[in-house]
């Protein structure tokens, strides 16, 4: 599983969704599930 260091580069990927869960910011990507990340 690959996790990108920068949230900004993740949310610019095609198919990326920024989701807030339990006070954390997650980036999930259904088109390309490799690109994930969380912050907070």
What is the extent of the structural domain holding 18? 7-39
Assigned token pair, 23: 């006070």
Number of domains forming the structure of the chain: 1
Of 23, 32, 28, the C-alpha closest to 11 is: 28
pTM over 0.85, yes/no: no
Task: Please list the ranges in the chain whose pLDDT falls under 50.
Answer: none
What is the pLDDT at residue 18?
94
Residue 11 lies in a domain: yes
Structure confidence at residue 22 (pLDDT)? 94
Residue 2 lies in a domain: no
Say what the pLDDT of residue 16 is. 94
For the record, the structure tokens of 7 come out as: 């949230």
The pLDDT score that the predictor gives to residue 7 is 87
Q: Is residue 1 part of a domain?
A: no
């Amino acid at each position: 599983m690959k996790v990108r260091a920068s949230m900004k580069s993740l949310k610019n990927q095609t198919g990326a969704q920024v989701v807030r869960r339990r006070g954390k910011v997650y980036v999930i990507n259904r088109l390309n599930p490799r690109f994930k990340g969380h912050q907070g």
